[in-house]
Amino acid sequence: MNITKKEVDNLNAVLTVEISKDDYAPKVESILNNYRKTANIPGFRKGHVPMGMVKKQYGKAVLVEEVNKLLQEKLHNYLTEEKLDILGNPLPKNEAEIDWNADDFSFEFDLGLAPEFTVDVKGKKAITSYKVVADDEMINNQVKTIRKQYGKLIAKDTVEKGDEITGTFTNEEKNIDNSTTISTDIIKGKKQLDTLLGAKVGDTVTLKTKGFFKDDHDNQKHFGVSHDDAHGLNIEVTFKIEEVNTREMADLNQELFDKLFGKDVVTSEEELKEKIKEDAEKQFEQQTDQKLLNDVVESLIENTKFELPDEFLQRWIQNSGEKRLTEEEAKAEYERSEKGLRYQLIEGKLRAEHNLQVSFDELKDYCKNMIKGQMAQFGQTNPSDEELDSITARIMQNQDEVKRINEQLNTNKMLDFFKENAKLKTKEVTYDKFIKEAYE
C-alpha cells in the first residue's frame, strides 16, 4: 500500500491511495472460507460448497467491503500521523472510475487544507467594554419594590392611584373571560386610568384595550389573549371590579433585612442600598460579558484575513448530509456558515497557541463549586469531600451535562483571555443606556 499527497495550491491537495492485491487478499480469502463453512446452498452439504461457487456468489461484495474498510483505516492513520490540518473530510475524486475486477486499485481524494494565518487580538481599534452601573433611580425603585412586596395588603372600597385591582375582563368577540390583578402603576392610557379611579368594588366599567398598558405583552397576561392578538389589540372590554387593595409599605427595619439576606448581613438602609447595587451590577455582568464576547468575535472575523478552499467546502457541504444538496443549496449553506467556520479556525488557533483548553481537573472543580453553591441555597454550607466527590462523579457520567459544562468553561476561558489581551475601552453606563447602545 502506498499513499502520496500532491498539493494543488496552498488550500487544496489530492491524496492518492494505492492498494495492491497483497494488501487485501488474505482477509478476503479468510472471510470467503468462513462463508464456505456456513453457506446453505441447495445441492451441497454444509461445508462442502465449492470455493468457486462461493466466490461467484459473495466474492465481489466481500472484496469491495474489505477494500473500503482498509482504505478508510489507512486514510485515517495517514492524516493523523502526518498531522494534516484539513477542513471537512476527504472527498472521493475517482470512485466512479474504479474497476473492481482488477487486482490493484488507486483511489484519489480531494483535500481542503486549513489556511496559514496569524491572529492579532489587540487590533487597531479599541472595543467598548461596558460596565453597567446601578444608579440611584434604579436602587430606589428596587427599595420601593421590596417594601411593597413585603408590605401588607389593606382592603378598600374605592380605586385610587397606586392601588391593586382584582377583577375579570370579558369580551365576547375575542372570547375573553380572564380574572387578573393589575396595579394602576402599569396602566399607560390616561382615559382608562381616569375611568378606573374612583370606581368601587362591584362596579363594571368599559375600557378600550388600545394603549391600555405600557407594554403590549401585558395584554396577553391580563386579557388572556394569544401572543399574536396581544400586539396592537384594539377592542372594548368590560371589567368587573371584585377587590381593591392598597399595599402598606414594609418598614426598613432589621426584621426585613434579616428576612432578605440572613441575620445581620445588612443592618441599615445604606447597607441595603449597597447590597442592592452590588447584586444588580453582578447580574448585569452576564449581559455585558456576552456583548463584549460578541464584539470581539466580530472584530477578529473582520480583521483576520485568510482565504478558504471555497469550492472544496461547497462540494463537501453538498455531499456530507443525509440528503445530497444541489449546487445552489450548498452554496447558500456555505455562505451562511462561512463566518462561523472562520471563527472556529481563529478560536482553534488561539486555544492551541495560548493553551486555552479545558482540563479534566477544571471540569471536576467547576462541578464541585456548582454543587456547593446549590447545596448552600438549601442551608447545607459545609458538605463533606466524599459527598461532593460522589455527586460530581454522577454528573460526570452524564455526557450531555459534561458537554454543557465544557462549553461554558471554554467560553469563560476565551472571555477571560480577551479581557486580558484585547484592546478594550471601559465605558460606564446605566442599564437603560446600555440596552439602547448595545441592542437598538
Instruction: Check pLDDT > 90 for residue 382.
Output: no
pLDDT (tens digit per residue) in 328-366: 999 999 999 999 999 999 999 999 999 999 999 999 898
- Confidence label for 381 from pLDDT (cuts 50, 70 and 90): confident
DSSP string, 18-70: EE-HHHHHHHHHHHHHHHHHH---TTS-TT---HHHHIIIIIHHHHHHHHHHH
Looking at 3.40.50.150, 3.30.70.3270, 3.30.70.1050, 3.30.420.40, the CATH number of the domain 2-113 comes to 3.30.70.1050
Which pLDDT score is estimated for 57? 84
* Confidence at residue 221, expressed as pLDDT on a 0 to 100 scale: 92
14 membership: H or E segment, kind and range: strand 12-19
- Confirm if 205 and 238 have CB atoms less than 8 A apart: yes
Contact (CB, 8 A) for 72 and 110? no
Class of domain 152-248 (CATH, top level): alpha beta
Please list, in sequence order, all residues whose beta carbon lies within 8 angstroms of the beta carbon of residue 274, skipping any fewer than 6 positions away: none
pLDDT tens for each residue of 281-314 = 999 999 999 999 999 999 999 999 999 999 999 9
pLDDT tens readout for residues 154-210: 999 999 998 999 999 999 999 999 999 999 989 999 999 999 999 999 999 999 999
Q: What is the pLDDT of residues 107-128, one digit of tens each?
A: 999 999 999 999 999 988 999 9
* Gap between the Cα atoms of 185 and 294, Å rounded: 36
Distance separating alpha carbons of residues 308 and 251, to the nearest angstrom: 66
Per-residue model confidence (pLDDT) at position 217: 86
The DSSP symbol for 213 reads B
Q: Do the domains 152-248 and 2-113 match in fold? A: no
CA–CA gap between residue 108 and residue 112 (Å, rounded): 13
What cell numbers appear for 244 in the block? 381593591
User: Using an 8 Å Cβ cutoff, are 218 and 151 in contact?
Assistant: no
Distances (CA, A) of 67 to 3, 17, 79: 15, 11, 18
| Residues 116 and 342 sit within 8 Å (Cβ to Cβ) | no
- Band of the pLDDT at 320, cuts 50, 70, 90? confident
DSSP three-state, residue 72: helix
Report the SS3 class of residue 405: helix
- CATH of the structural domain 267-439, one choice from 1.25.40, 1.10.10, 3.30.1490, 1.10.3120: 1.10.3120
- Give me 201's grid cell: 368594588
377, pLDDT greater than 80: no
Mean pLDDT along residues 136-140: 93
Residue 239: predicted pLDDT: 97
What is the separation of C-alpha 416 from the centre of its chain, rounded to a whole number of angstroms?
A: 19
Q: Which residues touch 252 (CB under 8 Å, ≥6 apart)?
A: 143, 147, 269, 272
- pLDDT for 177 equals 95
Q: How confident is the model at residue 47 (pLDDT cuts 50, 70, 90)?
A: confident
Give the pLDDT of residue 117: 96
Other beta carbons less than 10 A from residue 21's beta carbon: 12
- In this prediction, residues 27-31 reach a mean pLDDT of 93
Average pLDDT value for residue range 213-240: 91
Q: Domain extents for the chain?
A: 2-113, 152-248, 267-439
Q: What is the pLDDT of residues 246-255, one digit of tens each?
A: 989 999 999 9
The band of 383, judged by pLDDT with boundaries at 50, 70 and 90, is confident
Q: Which three cell numbers stand for residue 2?
A: 502506498
Place 212 in a pLDDT band, splitting at 50, 70 and 90: very high
Q: In a 10 Å sphere around its CB, with 0-12 CB exposed, 13-18 middle and 19+ buried, how is residue 370 labelled?
A: middle
Q: Are 233 and 225 in contact (CB under 8 A)?
A: yes
